Chain A
Amino acid sequence: MSRSIRLFIVCFFLLVASNNVSLSANPFLAGNSPIVRQPSSGGVLPTFQMELRNNTAKAIQSFTQDPTLEGLLLLITATFLYGILHAAGPGHRKTVVFSLFLGRKARTWEPLLAGFLAAGVHGAAGLVIIAILSILRGTVAGLGQAEAVGAFMDAATFVVIGLLAVVLIIRKIVFLQKYSNTTGIPEQNRDLYSLVAIASIVPCPGAIMLLLFASYAGQLWLGILGVVSMSLGMGIVISLAGYLAFAGREGLFHRLKAKEQLIRNIASGFELLSYLLLFGISVYALLPLLHSLF
């Protein structure tokens, strides 16, 4: 077995194994039943994650009373590390990013951009939800409302991703039939970032609680700073998911560089596979919702 194929197998298993398709609904809050599939486990160093989160809370509290550079650095460090560990667990759209780079020819820096785009949109979604709810309420939003909106958005993005995947599958099949006798099949990369952005319009409950905590302390900007730092940490992990697919694909194609027709066929197969994977992920995540509807 060639090195590139081995690498690809490892990449694929790593992503499948990470079982990362959903976020949670807070079991304490009324009417907050999960509407997408929940993680049955998964996550990295949960106790340490919670220590980091509590340190973040302490940093905000101490900064409120005594603003120091050390307090600020503690906040940034704790949220950054929390972002890395948190994103390494279930959710946060790593599978989506992996699927997209499995099916596309990309430049070296693109998984990095996609990862940070996903993390940025993920973090910003929480801020936007809290801002809108707070404006509607005339006071700082409540956790229950914010999480209920988040759970709905979680399901809605999977519906959109699933439908887009169907459109892309049909388009690819039509495209392949049209260009089956030509030597050059143009790459279609323009949808990639739109898909990543759409898939990531889901707030992270961790970011929501951080923003609310900072708001209650009258230091919203500290919450925003924390979410930015957290998103940078998450971006690294989500980018790695993209790079796993990128490296596997590039490695395989490098080994086959003398066989252009085979490369084209495999590339098309990967692209179709990536759309099917996206569709499968969406249906899998939405099964609880579908069960409750039918």
Chain B
Amino acid sequence: MCKTRCSLSIAMVFMSMTTINGWSHPHMTFDASVEFEMKDRTCSALHVELLFDPMFSASIIMEFDKNRDGEFSAAEATKLRVGAFDNLKNYGYFVYLRKGERRFQPGSIAGFSPYIKKGLLVYRFKISLEGKNLSDDFSVAIFDSTYYCQVCYPESPAKAYATAGSTLDPSFRIELVENKKYPVYYNPYGDPTDHTVYTSWASGLDTAFPQEIRLSYRY
């Protein structure tokens, strides 16, 4: 009886281990960092940078930097955007914003500028947050629900700066925090064209708790 319980326990432990989010199945990795563009204490835009691993970098650079000058010209950048970036819209650009319990993803971006840094590919894109009322205390998570990419954060994953004509309240604090309270929902079983962004749980959805970059004020 004891052996039976032991065997079944091993199986159950294995089952539960395969469903936790730490057990992803990545094929590539990138370092994600963000810049908060602040109008006083309200975030008006978010700049996201993804620094890719050497293999994915090489694949994209060789495909799109046609003249091999180590830079993307305007024409090359446009082709790159169409061929290896725009599809990310279907995944909300991997960006999950949260203010209190309200979580949302951007539907579009305001600018995209790829570049090459020491042989590695970097995607930099801007998300306009005008009218989103992201002030005082809010968070952003970079998360790939397909688990194709391993998302990492550098030691200093975020910074903030003031837009022209406004001042940055110096009491702000930025920190990378573990998130155990605010889930991200996603559907691993949808058809290929189903890229719905879920704001609440429904049957069949999976749940993840990605790390968040939180901007808050000390008073």
Residues of A within 8 A of B (CB): 1, 3, 6-7, 9-10, 13-14, 16-19, 24-35, 37-44, 46-47, 49-50, 53-54, 56-58, 61, 86, 89-91, 140, 142-144, 205-206, 209-210, 212-213, 216-217, 287-289, 291-292
Question: In the complex, A206 Cα to B25 Cα: how many Å?
Answer: 11
Inter-subunit contact B91/A27 (CB<8 Å): yes
Which residues on the A side are within 8 Å of B29 (C-beta)?
Answer: 50, 53-54
CA–CA, A54 and B51, complex, Å: 13
For B42-85 the 0/1 string (1 means CB < 8 A from A) is 00000000000111101110110000000000000000001111
Chain B, 88-104, CB within 8 A of any chain A CB: 88, 90-91, 94
Q: Which residues on B are within 8 Å of A, measured CB to CB?
A: 3-4, 7-8, 10-12, 14-15, 18-29, 53-56, 58-60, 62-63, 82-88, 90-91, 94, 144, 146-150, 152, 186, 188-194, 206, 208
A143 near B60 with CB under 8 A, answer yes
> Are A39's CB and B150's CB within 8 A?
no
Report how far A28 CA is from B193 CA in the complex, Å: 15
Q: How far is the CA of A34 from the CA of B144 in the complex (A)?
A: 14
Interchain CA distance A38-B145 in the complex, whole Å: 10
- Take A27-B148, A289-B192 as given contacts and tell me if A90 and B59 are in contact as well, using a CB distance cutoff of 8 Å: no
Checking A27, A144, A205 against B63 with a beta-carbon cut-off of 8 angstroms, the contacting residue is A144
Q: Is the CB of B53 within 8 A of A50?
A: yes
Known: A24-B147, A27-B146, A292-B191. A46 touches B24 (CB 8 A): yes
Taking the closest CB of chain B, its distance from the CB of A293, in whole angstroms, is: 9
> Is A38 within 8 A of B146, CB to CB?
yes
CB distance from B212 to the nearest CB of A (A): 18
Interchain residue pairs with CB less than 8 A apart (7): A6-B8, A24-B147, A40-B19, A43-B24, A54-B29, A209-B28, A216-B62
CA distance A175 to B19 in the complex (A): 40
Task: Give bound CA distance, A89 to B148, whole Å.
Answer: 12
Whether the pair A28, B84 counts as a contact (CB closer than 8 A) is: yes
